Amino acid sequence: MNAFWLSYLTVREALFKGTLLFFFAIANVIIVFFIFAIDSTDGGISIFGNPITPRGIPDFNFVDFLFLNLFSSSTFWVLLFGLFATAGLIPAMLEKGTVELYVSKPISRPLLLISRSVGACAGIAFNLVYFSLAIWLIIGVKTGIWHQGFLLASLAVIPLFFFYYSVVALIALLSNSTGFSIMFALIFWFFSSALHLREMVLYPWWDNVVFHRLLDSLYYGTPQVSAMLDSATRLIGPDIMRRPTMLAQEGFDPLPFLYSLLSSSLLYAIACWWFSRKDY
Amino acid sequence: MAIVEISNLSKSYTSGAFHRSSIKALTNVSFSVNQGEIFGLLGPNGAGKTTLIKILLSIAFPSAGKATVLSHPLGSLEIRKSIGYLPENHRYPSFLTALDTMRHFGRISGLSSTTLKERMTSLLQLVGLADWHKVKIRKFSKGMLQRLGLAVAMLNDPAILFLDEPTDGVDPIGRKEIRDILKSLRYQGKTIFLNSHMLSEVEEVSDRVAILNKGHLLHVGTIADITSHELEYEIRLLRPPASEVLSQLRSLCKSLQQDNAVLHITVNERRDFQNVLDILRRDGVEIESFSPRKSRLEDYFLRVITTGTE
């Protein structure tokens, strides 16, 4: 129970920092836009009364297109805002005068760290669920199209963020710096995208087996942020924009989530081990 | 019964990634704290006082030696269930009210809602924050934050309280109130481990003290041992005595110092002091008062720290 209250306190702390509230406000603006803008027409959707019609693209499905782009852009902002809103929570816990209050309580340090991370992710999860559910309901009610793929894809971002947060937690713990944690996490995100496309992007740099295996190890040994995002996107529908990462496979692939679960567990375990041995 | 037992505890901090240097914060510290006493830990800045408390609470880890708190080895969760801790310069989340702070930290400590409800109100009353319970603590003064910290430390009805500079930033009235709280806790049989720079305060409330300097334990003993001087007396007279009287007294005393109408004497045995008084009365010297000489803890502390010996 004490872990639950610690997570709850972390959510309140994240709310107090304001970034989550700003995120919530932006979500509401988009929701209001959808309430007024989207409507149904004969066999399709209209935006502010203008029907959206396919323009020469075979099998064009505007609903899939809308949800795909909404998902892609919203997850980008969710991860970015989420990072800014939560990266400081672990360094804040480690500040002199604060860390003593927590580590002197009858709660183990690993549980303290995990509860803090869960609390950090819970605030993001709440915003995400609220936003996705609202958009899904609005479009569902207005057009009669209940797109479950969008809802599932949005829910998949919750574990994705938690896995991604293992990198933030470890770096925040080691560096004790919010700025450095954010910077490293952003670089990691970019790097994760490059690793996801390593065969196309990184292998040609150096045609060496050891280098290729090293890239493979990094890909499987760290949370696969980009691969998880692509896999979640496939829950919505076929990619009309034909992005290179989505060409290879059709449908949801659970493996990036499984590998990320394992690699993030390892990162959390390292963070817990470090935290348990550190003097404050 | 010893409630805290420390045996040859040492702590070194290493720094630098390439040229590693080691700083000794504690060196072979050994002493014990008995149940129901207020134990003062004294020392100048950097003496290792806070490090010692942090090691006892598993906030830091020892490099060598061992210790037990409430018969549990260091690191045991059982210790943290049964202690209260007020850290130096603590920082509770500023967006919480006093009541929220107590509720959250009580819950993190594993207290039930019923216990919390009972304890919160009475403790806020005890530390004088009952009227401030709904105010965000970012509006609190340093003294109010210290009182709140004390209340949070007492939430779980701890068997032993570790207080690191509890009166730091508290006004004189607040300091008196905190001293009274500590005394009443001792009356209830609680043990208090007090780390403070305020020597007069430690002298007033503590039963025993330990003096640390540069990580070394210089002295452990009762306040009475430190401040009282056996067979040393101060006699205040209405007028300075005549030289004949003084020479008679000198023959009886081990040492005699005259400061106008005040005599500081050291005698070999207690009966000699009675003889001194008899001589003064017989020669018609009017005595205003007399008392055993007492030194302040501060004098002793400064002497020990300066000379490094008792």
pLDDT in tens, B122-160: 999 988 898 998 999 999 988 889 999 999 999 999 999
Q: For B112, phi and psi rounded to 5 degrees? A: -80, 160
Give yes or no for residue A246 having a pLDDT over 80.
no
Q: Which residues of B touch A (CB under 8 A)?
A: 13, 54, 57-61, 77, 80-81, 83, 85, 87-93, 95-96, 104-105, 107-110
**High-pLDDT (> 70) share of chain B, %:** 98
Q: What's the pLDDT tens digit per position in B27-86?
A: 999 999 999 999 999 999 889 999 999 999 999 999 999 999 999 999 899 999 999 999
| A209 in reach of chain B (CB within 8 A) | no
Burial degree of B137 (CB within 10 A; 0-12, 13-18, 19+): buried
Q: What's the pLDDT tens digit per position in A205-242?
A: 888 899 999 999 999 999 999 999 989 988 887 665 55
Q: Identify the closest residue of chain B to A94 by CA–CA distance.
A: B91
Residue in A1, A8, A101, A111 to test binding to B, most B beta-carbons within 10 Å:
A101
Q: In chain A, count H helices and then E strands.
A: 12, 3
Nearest by CB to B105, from A1, A101, A277: name it: A101
Q: What's the pLDDT tens digit per position in B185-224?
A: 888 889 999 998 888 889 889 999 999 999 999 999 998 8
- Higher pLDDT residue, B228 or B176? B176
Q: What is the pLDDT of residue B310?
A: 62
Strand pairing of B191-195 and B38-42? parallel
Q: Identify the closest residue of chain A to B79 by CA–CA distance.
A: A106
Q: What is the pLDDT of residue A211?
A: 93
Nearest by CB to B107, from A5, A16, A96: name it: A5
According to DSSP, residue B232 is labeled E
- Higher pLDDT residue, A237 or A121? A121
Q: What is the pLDDT of residue A242?
A: 53
Q: What is the pLDDT of residue B53?
A: 95
What tokens were used for B170? 């508290």
Give yes or no for residue A57 having a pLDDT over 70.
no
CA angle B84, B87, B88 (to 5 degrees): 150
Q: What is the pLDDT of residue A51?
A: 77
Give yes or no for residue B10 having a pLDDT over 60.
yes
Give yes or no for residue A88 having a pLDDT over 80.
yes
Give yes or no for residue A107 having a pLDDT over 80.
yes
**High-pLDDT (> 90) share of chain B, %:** 55
Give yes or no for residue A147 having a pLDDT over 50.
yes
| A1 in reach of chain B (CB within 8 A) | yes
Chain A, 68 to 127: residues with Cβ < 8 Å from chain B are 95-108
Q: What is the pLDDT of residue A199?
A: 87
Residues of B in contact with A13 (CB under 8 A): 93, 95
Reading across the β-sheet that carries B21-34, which strands appear in turn?
A: B21-34, B2-15, B64-69, B72-73
Rounded to whole angstroms, the Cα distance separating A6 from A116 reads 7
Confidence of residue A247 (pLDDT cuts 50, 70, 90): very low
CB-based burial, A106-144: b 16+ in 10 Å, e otherwise: bbbbeebbbbbbbbbbbbbbbbbeebbebbbebbeebbe
What tokens were used for A149? 């793929």
Distance from CA of A165 to the nearest CA of B (A): 22
Rounded to whole angstroms, the Cα distance separating B161 from A226 reads 50
Which residue has 């430690």 as its token pair?
Answer: B202
Q: What is the pLDDT of residue B197?
A: 83
Residues of A in contact with B110 (CB under 8 A): 1-2, 106-107
Distance from CA of A67 to the nearest CA of B (A): 38
Amino acid identity, residue A28? Answer: N
Q: What's the pLDDT tens digit per position in A17-30?
A: 888 888 889 999 99
Reading across the β-sheet that carries A38-41, which strands appear in turn?
A: A38-41, A44-47, A50-51
Looking at the DSSP bridge assignments, the partners of residue B15 are B21
Which residue has 């005040």 as its token pair?
Answer: B262
Q: For B156, phi and psi rounded to 5 degrees? A: -90, 20
CB pairs under 8 A between A and B: 77
Q: For B115, phi and psi rounded to 5 degrees? A: -60, -45
Q: What is the pLDDT of residue B110?
A: 87
- How high does pLDDT run on average in chain B? 90
Q: Are B200 and B297 in contact (CB under 8 A)?
A: yes
In this complex, do B110 and A100 lie within 8 Å of one another by their Cβ atoms? no
Mean pLDDT score, A145-154 = 89
Q: What is the pLDDT of residue B93?
A: 92
What tokens were used for B115? 């216990």
| A6 in reach of chain B (CB within 8 A) | yes
Residue in B59, B63, B77, B102 to test binding to A, most A beta-carbons within 10 Å:
B59
Q: Identify the closest residue of chain A to B76 by CA–CA distance.
A: A106
Smallest Cα–Cα separation from A186: which of A203, A171, A205? A171
Confidence of residue A271 (pLDDT cuts 50, 70, 90): very high
Mean pLDDT score, B271-282 = 92
| A18 in reach of chain B (CB within 8 A) | no
Query: Could you report the predicted ipTM of this complex, rounded to two decimals?
Result: 0.81
Q: What is the pLDDT of residue B35?
A: 92
Q: What is the pLDDT of residue A109?
A: 94
Report DSSP letters for B257-308, one per residue: EEETTEEEEEESSHHHHHHHHHHHHHTTPPEEEEEEEE--HHHHHHHHHHHS
Q: Identify the closest residue of chain B to A18 by CA–CA distance.
A: B95
